[in-house]
Structure 1
């Protein structure tokens, strides 16, 4: 079977109705944007937006996709002229799109000069990043500042540099990283970056599972071509970005492709963190102890579906300012139920000791301060304590992936069967619960109550009891 490429793509016209092909001239496609962090998420998210802008007839959105270290994906995409097939699955079915926005690929660790030259090229207008928040360090700063220094030396204008990483205030953090690095080598460059470049905050969302052999097999069946880079995603996507661009006209262009351009991103970040991520953690912990493999398997259980709806509606949403919260909640529930995503509960439950302070704690603190009920999150916290025993309700063991995992498991085993002692030991950890919450008698009492109910029965039975005790 022939491989997907620009030449073989031309043979697919007319294409099947379920397949969307690039509707623009790809060769030559100038580089208008450098993306750092080439991977599945970028290819299923930002690259699709840039593909739409190219499809509208604006040729300025061709992408140089930069892998930071790994060479495999960058080289596989280069062999396919940057083309790949994306399967988009939701309740209405599946469709395919061949995305053509990636004009070139390279690897920063292997070809740093190419990255610097691309940042300094006259046609380049934007830099975007999905390198994970852990990578916001000296290596990234050096690469960016070298490119911007070359751009300044060439007498060119600044760039819009947009972090798309899951990091609150990501634009502010990226700007400070660049300014600090530039200040150490050339204060004049730091002043130029400050005046000429823009670092909008943004929030992105789309579930993109790891690509599988099944994606590649399905792509081959639809395309009649071999695609080593095929992947899948959900129908939902969201990109909320601050209206802060070097070229103010970019706001309207992005909006035309479905991006939400707003004055303040924080309300959207908080809603995602507390509604999507917070619910995800609760679902995953319940599913792990109940022996359910995926998120969709979990929300197919009526009591878990009720729990998530109640948690978001009655407990989380009253603290949030994002517009359209009921519609956002319903979209999240539909996403959780999507069986095509196969989002594994143990993957989502990993690193819970780091996630709980961000995803649950602000809601718990706000509710307790207002004298409002916190029952669903007290229940979820009790489930986490039960989860730390590393075996489900049927006695099947599982691994816990958490930087505090060994210590947490030891505490749970040490006080196994004693709910009050377990709560006292694990809720005393300020790195998870903060300084004040462990001393709140209302909170401690409710977590202890639900852990006792889980220990004497099961998560399934305790969840049914919780549902019967709260308004439907």
Structure 2
């Protein structure tokens, strides 16, 4: 039997299911990017608010390009199971906040109308770094223009992606699509709409057959949309809303509302995401399939601990970074989170510029060592070969895959030239690092060690010299 509204009553009593009416009210949130992360993070926060009796937080979820996922969720009445893995075991939950769905590529007008709907109070986005395109700005502007022309109030538009100052970037992207005739619309955007910056944190691997099988066993229903996540979650959002009363509501659900999103944002990008990228690339090359497979190796765990402690933390403004670091290492090792290294390595060319260079530049400014980041960068160069150390080929799923693989092909014959060519790219490293002799020299050194002796031996060599 498939999971659906009809089958909810048959689920085991220890599975938390929606206790509210999912059909009597119109959605109050339009969410762009209906992937696993949103469904196991914000959708569960909104589910909590709905459970508390506030009917304004139902979601109209928009899949940007994937009709298959939207069709599966529609067939299940927007329901899906989430396995939440804690240190002492797991709990299953079926969030009920997803009330309607659309596909942006084929149902664009539905999305525009949803943004302009009278009931809509929020638009949230989880599109990954590469999703912030002029086309996105145009889509949002059309919905907001229709809203303004209808005489409706402004709304909160919250980016939840790994971009520094994401609210400011999103607001600028929307305004960049305005025309000379949009003067009144721009004034309305400035006075009535809010684009808060935010940081979201929860490890949510992509759906796998293993999780689907576990859902079938635990719930007794079929659910191709089942997800697995960790008990930890964090949402830090700027205290800047179209409706100021939303601050207290979100806080009641466990969201941190603050005037200082930046300190949390930079810590997550450089500690969690920066470590994730380094481990994912190492895992891809060494044939370790999951993050937990990597962090369980003592030398990789020590490398990650030192990377965060010695090269990242000195440049953070988050005061509890040591506790955050220790919690991250424990989270990385969660055995229930089969977080694929190849999933995390996806779009590395878009992610690395946000995650590594700020720490390296900080170390250079303090005349301090950046060896861990240099080795990570060397591993990224080696990753572009597209084949692991056992000779198994893998796909580079990256907007820059063509140029990366072209460089990668030259590694075996001209490794130093390959490193210089990749490090010269300002879109990846910025203007300073792309021309910094010491940085280039150390990445070249570690790349040579990785090619000659392998990733594990290079990591162990670094640890022995850093001890």
TM-score, length-scaled by structure 2: 0.90
Shift of 1:421: 5.6
Shift of 1:348: 2.9
Taking the aligned partners of 2:27 and 2:432, their CA distance within structure 1 comes to 52
CA RMSD of aligned residues (A): 2.6
Taking the aligned partners of 1:228 and 1:367, their CA distance within structure 2 comes to 46
Taking the aligned partners of 1:211 and 1:8, their CA distance within structure 2 comes to 21
- Secondary structure at 1:376's aligned position in 2? helix
| Aligned match of 2:365 | 369
Tell me if 1:8 matches 2:7: yes
Contact 2:62 2:101 in 1 (8 A): yes
| Aligned match of 1:297 | 293
Contact 1:411 1:425 in 2 (8 A): no
Taking the aligned partners of 2:393 and 2:379, their CA distance within structure 1 comes to 16
Taking the aligned partners of 2:179 and 2:304, their CA distance within structure 1 comes to 48
Taking the aligned partners of 2:455 and 2:64, their CA distance within structure 1 comes to 43
Shift of 1:441: 4.5
Give 5+ residue unaligned stretches, structure 2: none
Contact 2:129 2:161 in 1 (8 A): yes
- Secondary structure at 1:7's aligned position in 2? coil
Go from structure 1 to structure 2 and tell me whether the alpha carbon gap of 1:107 and 1:454 turns closer, same or farther (over 3 Å shift): closer
- Secondary structure at 1:104's aligned position in 2? strand
Shift of 1:426: 4.5
Tell me if 1:157 matches 2:153: yes
Tell me if 1:319 matches 2:318: no
Shift of 1:208: 2.3
Taking the aligned partners of 2:164 and 2:284, their CA distance within structure 1 comes to 28
Go from structure 1 to structure 2 and tell me whether the alpha carbon gap of 1:92 and 1:200 turns closer, same or farther (over 3 Å shift): same
Contact 1:388 1:412 in 2 (8 A): no
Deviates more, 1:221-230 or 1:274-283: 221-230
Contact 2:407 2:421 in 1 (8 A): no
Contact 2:163 2:354 in 1 (8 A): no
Contact 2:291 2:332 in 1 (8 A): yes
Shift of 1:81: 2.3
| Aligned match of 2:34 | 38
| Aligned match of 2:271 | 275
Tell me if 1:443 matches 2:439: yes
Taking the aligned partners of 1:146 and 1:424, their CA distance within structure 2 comes to 44
Contact 2:378 2:447 in 1 (8 A): yes
- Encode CA deviations 1:336-392: one digit per residue, 9 max, x unaligned: 212322223234334444443332212112111211122222232333344444444
TM-score, length-scaled by structure 1: 0.89
Tell me if 1:115 matches 2:111: yes
Give 5+ residue unaligned stretches, structure 1: none
Contact 2:129 2:350 in 1 (8 A): no
| Aligned match of 1:210 | 206
| Aligned match of 2:411 | 412
- Secondary structure at 2:30's aligned position in 1? strand
1:220-259 aligned at under 5 Å gives the runs: 220-259=216-255
Contact 1:183 1:190 in 2 (8 A): no
Contact 2:162 2:269 in 1 (8 A): no
Taking the aligned partners of 2:426 and 2:65, their CA distance within structure 1 comes to 36
Go from structure 1 to structure 2 and tell me whether the alpha carbon gap of 1:447 and 1:184 turns closer, same or farther (over 3 Å shift): same
- Secondary structure at 1:156's aligned position in 2? coil
- Secondary structure at 1:227's aligned position in 2? coil
Go from structure 1 to structure 2 and tell me whether the alpha carbon gap of 1:137 and 1:93 turns closer, same or farther (over 3 Å shift): same
Taking the aligned partners of 1:335 and 1:239, their CA distance within structure 2 comes to 16
Deviates more, 1:42-51 or 1:285-294: 285-294
Taking the aligned partners of 1:215 and 1:60, their CA distance within structure 2 comes to 31
1:104-183 aligned at under 5 Å gives the runs: 104-183=100-179
Taking the aligned partners of 1:442 and 1:44, their CA distance within structure 2 comes to 43
Structure possessing the higher radius of gyration over alpha carbons: 1
Shift of 1:185: 4.2
Contact 1:172 1:199 in 2 (8 A): yes
Go from structure 1 to structure 2 and tell me whether the alpha carbon gap of 1:438 and 1:139 turns closer, same or farther (over 3 Å shift): closer
Contact 2:78 2:99 in 1 (8 A): yes
